[in-house]
Amino acid sequence: MTPKNRRPKRKKPKRRKPDRHELYQLSVQEPEADIEFLQNTFHERYGRPPRLLREDFGGTAYLASSWVADNENNSAWAIDLDNEPLEWGARHNAARLTEAQRARLALVQGNVLDRQDPPVDIIAAFNFSYFTFQKRRQMLQYFRRAHANLRDEGLFVLDLYGGPEAQQLIEETTEHEDFSYVWDQDEFDPIQGRMVCYIHFDLPKGKRIEKAFTYDWRLWTLPELREILEDAGFAGSEAYWEGIDEDGDGDGVYTRQETAENTDSWIAYIVGYK
């Protein structure tokens, strides 16, 4: 046996297993852009920066963690029913914060339908998570709770999506460096307005995380949601619509608009104010 052969075998560096939460964050979240939108919209209405944020349906609290890192005067709560994404967020997102930043972040397991927390400047419900409420009375209950949990100068910010493509059974793939994100609209029932969607991740070597996330939603429309906000006590609401670039694609810049041209699919924000 040659000395070379006798050498202890070098352990192969372990490839970290791709993690569905990490892939989700890389695919569909952009907290810096969200924070810029929240800050600008709040400042425009109240002439001061917002400081307290509640991230409803917080999942891994990526937005809330980024919020406390953005400014030393910022604090945030992230609320989620499920402790599993919250724990992941504590181990990954909150763990990257300084001790002082972590002290201004609270990860809370709870139901947004009945939370009573210290009133905040902004409640954000992003990535359409509130579509989980499929009955009008449930949505009204949620919006009333949000209203009660806001300061007198407060904004409730929701994103939503729509357009004719939102009702079609389609799979849309977005390539990333080491994986692909697949948005799968699998069912749509026009009587109930109910849709079932999945996120899958395609990985190298033909591997796939099938149904990494499942959504059972009602596809709400923008005017319906604005009416429910009004019924919940909001003094008013605004629709923020995305501009388009020279190729006809969304440019990521959202402005307040009263009417808009329909496109195959769109994402917009609704901002309710007290």
Ligand X SMILES: C[S@@+](CC[C@H](N)C(=O)[O-])C[C@H]1O[C@@H](n2cnc3c(N)ncnc32)[C@H](O)[C@@H]1O
**DSSP 8-state code for residue 88:** H
CA distance 119 to 40: 20
Applying CB under 6 A, the site for ligand X has a residue count of: 18
Contact 201, 23 (CB under 8 A): yes
CA distance 44 to 27: 29
The residue within the footprint of ligand X, chosen from 77, 88, 126, 234 (CB under 6 A), is 126
The nearer residue to ligand X, 57 or 234, going by C-beta atoms, is: 57
Q: How far, in Å, are 15, 130, 168 from residue 75 at the CA level? A: 36, 23, 40
Give phi and psi for 172, each to the nearest 5. -125, 125
The nearer residue to ligand X, 146 or 222, going by C-beta atoms, is: 146
Q: Nearest residue to ligand X, using CB?
A: 59
> Closest approach of Cβ 31 to ligand X, in Å?
9
Residue 29 binds to ligand X (criterion: CB under 6 A): yes
The nearer residue to ligand X, 46 or 198, going by C-beta atoms, is: 198
CA distance 73 to 61: 18
Residue 112 binds to ligand X (criterion: CB under 6 A): yes
> Closest approach of Cβ 9 to ligand X, in Å?
42
Helices and strands (H, E) in the chain, number of each type? 8, 12
CA distance 14 to 7: 20
Restricting to residues 85-104, name those near ligand X by CB under 6 A: 85
> Closest approach of Cβ 63 to ligand X, in Å?
6
Residue 108 binds to ligand X (criterion: CB under 6 A): no
Residue 168 binds to ligand X (criterion: CB under 6 A): no
Residue 266 binds to ligand X (criterion: CB under 6 A): no
The length of the chain in residues reads 274
Residues forming contacts to ligand X in the complex (CB under 6 A) are 28-29, 55, 57-59, 79-82, 85, 111-113, 126-127, 129, 132
